[in-house]
C-alpha cells in the first residue's frame, strides 16, 4: 500500500514539474516585441552608443523605429527566416537577423548593425 502512495506522490510531483515547464520561445515569434536600440556598429567598425529612449518595435506586420532627433518611422515588412524585407514608400530595404536570443537581437541594416536589447 505504501508503494502505491509513493508512486502517486511521485506522479503528482512529476506532473507539477512538467506543468511549470513552458515551451521555449521560437525565433519566429520571439522577435515580436519592443527592443531598446543600444548601439549601431558601422561597416568601418566604429560604434555609436545611443542614449536611452531609442527603440525598434517589431510587430507581426510592421516595424516602428523610434529614434530621438529623427522621429518615428513605420515600415511594412515581410519575413523569410532571417531576412526582413521592409517597404518604405516604393523602396524595399533588407534587414538580416544576425543574432537572436531572448535578451538580445542583432540586425544588419543598410545603416549598420543594430544591437537591440529587451
| Three-state secondary structure of the chain | CHHHHHHHHHHHHHHHHHHHCCCCCCHHHHCCEEEEEEEEECCCCCEEECCCCCEEEECCCEEEEEECCCEEEEEEEEEECCEEEEEECCEEEEEEEEEECCCEEEEECCCCEEEEEC
Confidence of residue 44 (pLDDT cuts 50, 70, 90): very high
Q: Return the pLDDT at 107.
A: 98
Q: Are 41 and 35 in contact (CB under 8 A)?
A: no
Q: Return the pLDDT at 36.
A: 98
User: CB burial class (10 A; 0-12, 13-18, 19+) of residue 115?
Assistant: buried
All structural domains of the chain with their residue ranges: 27-117
Q: Is pLDDT of 38 > 60?
A: yes
More confident residue, 30 or 48: 48
- CATH architecture group of domain 27-117: Beta Barrel (2.40)
Q: List, in sequence order, every residue forming a beta bridge with 52; answer none if it has no partner.
A: none
Grid cell in block for residue 111: 545603416
pTM score over 0.85: no
Q: Return the pLDDT at 90.
A: 86
Average pLDDT over every residue of 91-102: 96
Q: Are 96 and 89 in contact (CB under 8 A)?
A: no
- Stretch among 12-16, 55-59, 72-76 having the lowest mean pLDDT: 12-16
Q: Return the pLDDT at 88.
A: 84
More confident residue, 79 or 19: 79
Amino acid at each position: 500500500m505504501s508503494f502505491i502512495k509513493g508512486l502517486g506522490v511521485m506522479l503528482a510531483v512529476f506532473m507539477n514539474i512538467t506543468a511549470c515547464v513552458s515551451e521555449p520561445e521560437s525565433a519566429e515569434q520571439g522577435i515580436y516585441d519592443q527592443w531598446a536600440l543600444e548601439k549601431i556598429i558601422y561597416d568601418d567598425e566604429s560604434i555609436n552608443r545611443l542614449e536611452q529612449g531609442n527603440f525598434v518595435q517589431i510587430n507581426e506586420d510592421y516595424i516602428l523605429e523610434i529614434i530621438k532627433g529623427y522621429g518615428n518611422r513605420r515600415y511594412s515588412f515581410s519575413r523569410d527566416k532571417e531576412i526582413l524585407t521592409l517597404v518604405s514608400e516604393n523602396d524595399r530595404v533588407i534587414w538580416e537577423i544576425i543574432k537572436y536570443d531572448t535578451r538580445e537581437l542583432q540586425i544588419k541594416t543598410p545603416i549598420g548593425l543594430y544591437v537591440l536589447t529587451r
